[in-house]
Amino acid sequence: MFKVNEDYLKLRGSYLFSNIGKKVNTFAAEHPDASIIKMGIGDVTQPLVPAIINSLHDAVDEMGHIETFRGYAPDLGYEFLRKAIADNDYKARDCQIEADEIFISDGAKCDSGNIQEIFAKDNKIAVCDPVYPVYVDTNVMAGRTGSFDEKSETWSDVIYMPCTEATNFAPELPKETPDLIYLCFPNNPTGSTITKAQLQEWVDYANKVGAVIIYDAAYEAYISEKDVPHTIFECEGARTCAIELRSFSKNAGFTGTRLGATVIPKDLKSGDVMLHSLWARRHGTKYNGAPYIIQRAGEAVYSPEGKAQLKDQVAYYMNNAKCIMEGLASAGFSVSGGVNAPYIWMKTPDKMTSWQFFDYLLEKANVVGTPGSGFGPSGEGYFRLTAFNTYENTVEAIKRMQKL
């Protein structure tokens, strides 16, 4: 008689954003006239820019003619895209990453969920608290997290690194030594960042203790300050301890277009085994590449027109972030993030819990945000707002919140 993977059954409720979706749908059904503004899930609203649209049309035409039709893509991605990423995201910043160290995928969420698979089951993970739920949940599903304690809302075999007001929402080096360290800067959900010197400390620490840093750089395009690193490979020694996840979702609006990339330097080894080889084997065996036309769209992100158009798109969202930050601060809310990231992290007023404030905001202002506690116990009493809505909706939402 077949049996199911018991580790799946340990998962807490359903995925955070599915839960929010259900709550919002229920509210909308009961209040058909309410004009709900969604600033919860980090989904974008601006259309793909013309350079990308043109590239997509061209690639579609190629697929319609036998001379230019493309079947199976190279396992690890088309050379044209891997080279564009290597040149623009790494070599242009004096980081030594080669095209063949870059793996193209259908998104950073998939990669951040799948990457744990190439590590031993008894490796211990360390995560920031609060944290993007995918890092923890996928390790729960792999049986790597021990048992869940209902009181502390933590897993017995996970090292939590609290990111609170006291630490300026940055993690401190853990007391217990981890094997895998998940870091995400600019951070989801807090919108916080760390300096290059701070990140260098993490790289030195990982090399010292023999840990791998899984570095999620999905929000890199939103960095506005000088001393904030755009990639972990700006740090010396990162090639022997770091894997970097890159997304096209937020810098180019690909949430519904799906494209990502993972960088594994060939110097990152366990004994003689390159993690690069293991990930290549996973790609070859369980994956068949991102669609050709989508990879061409990714290439357009790095064209001169694409770069210029996307710079404007990021500026548009960051203007929203500024509007949220200033509007809420002037109304007496305590807010952070929003300067190098499209996320604003606010303290809930009147000591409400995160979910109480979620319900209150939905009910009274018809505005949807994300409860901070959904990202981990240290997120309790916080709330995440995203800058990804339209400017008009953002202004309207802040007006409503100011009236509360």
Q: Which is nearer to a copy of itself, 49 or 84 (CB)?
A: 49
Element (H, E) at 270: strand 269-270
**In the bound complex, what is the minimum distance in angstroms from residue 234's beta carbon to a copy of itself?**
22
319 to 358: interface string for a copy of itself, x by CB under 8 A: ----------------------------------------
> Distance between CA atoms of 141 and 143, rounded to whole angstroms?
5
Interface stretch with a copy of itself, choices 92-100, 249-257, 306-314, 351-359 (CB under 8 A):
249-257
Among 151, 175, 226, 286, binds a copy of itself (CB under 8 A): 286
40 to 59: interface string for a copy of itself, x by CB under 8 A: -x-xxxxxx-x--x--xx--
Q: Which is nearer to a copy of itself, 14 or 88 (CB)?
A: 14
Site for a copy of itself in 205-224 (CB under 8 A): 209-212
98 to 117: interface string for a copy of itself, x by CB under 8 A: --------xx-xx--xx--x
Among 164, 224, 390, 402, binds a copy of itself (CB under 8 A): 390
- Does the footprint of a copy of itself cover residue 29 (CB under 8 A)? no
Among 60, 92, 308, 404, binds a copy of itself (CB under 8 A): 60
Q: 70 with 292: CB under 8 angstroms?
A: yes
Residue 157 burial class via C-beta count within 10 angstroms: exposed 0-12, middle 13-18, buried 19 and up: middle
Q: 127 with 135: CB under 8 angstroms?
A: yes
- Does the footprint of a copy of itself cover residue 375 (CB under 8 A)? no
- Does the footprint of a copy of itself cover residue 70 (CB under 8 A)? yes
Interface stretch with a copy of itself, choices 154-162, 256-264, 335-343, 353-361 (CB under 8 A):
256-264
- Of the candidates 258, 141, 139, 129, the one whose C-alpha atom is nearest the C-alpha of residue 183 is 129
What is the token pair recorded at 385? 């707002």
Phi, psi for 135 (deg, rounded to 5):
-60, -45
**In the bound complex, what is the minimum distance in angstroms from residue 309's beta carbon to a copy of itself?**
11
Site for a copy of itself in 72-91 (CB under 8 A): 72-73, 75
- Of the candidates 328, 340, 332, the one whose C-alpha atom is nearest the C-alpha of residue 385 is 328
**In the bound complex, what is the minimum distance in angstroms from residue 403's beta carbon to a copy of itself?**
27
Site for a copy of itself in 137-196 (CB under 8 A): 137-138, 141, 179-180
Among 186, 229, 289, 327, binds a copy of itself (CB under 8 A): 289
Q: Which is nearer to a copy of itself, 287 or 360 (CB)?
A: 287
Q: 172 with 326: CB under 8 angstroms?
A: no
**Three-state DSSP class for 194?**
coil
- Does the footprint of a copy of itself cover residue 10 (CB under 8 A)? no
What is the separation, in whole angstroms, between the first and last Cα of the chain?
Answer: 57
Among 34, 35, 69, 311, binds a copy of itself (CB under 8 A): 69
Residues in contact with a copy of itself, counted by CB under 8 A, come to a total of: 82
Partners of 242 in the β-ladder: 213
Instruction: Name the pairing type of β-strands 154-155 and 158-162.
Output: unpaired
> Distance between CA atoms of 117 and 70, rounded to whole angstroms?
30
Residue with tokens 């339209």, as numbered in its chain: 390
Q: 376 with 129: CB under 8 angstroms?
A: yes
What is the token pair recorded at 305? 């027109």
**Three-state DSSP class for 155?**
strand
- Does the footprint of a copy of itself cover residue 6 (CB under 8 A)? yes
- Does the footprint of a copy of itself cover residue 298 (CB under 8 A)? no
**Three-state DSSP class for 171?**
coil
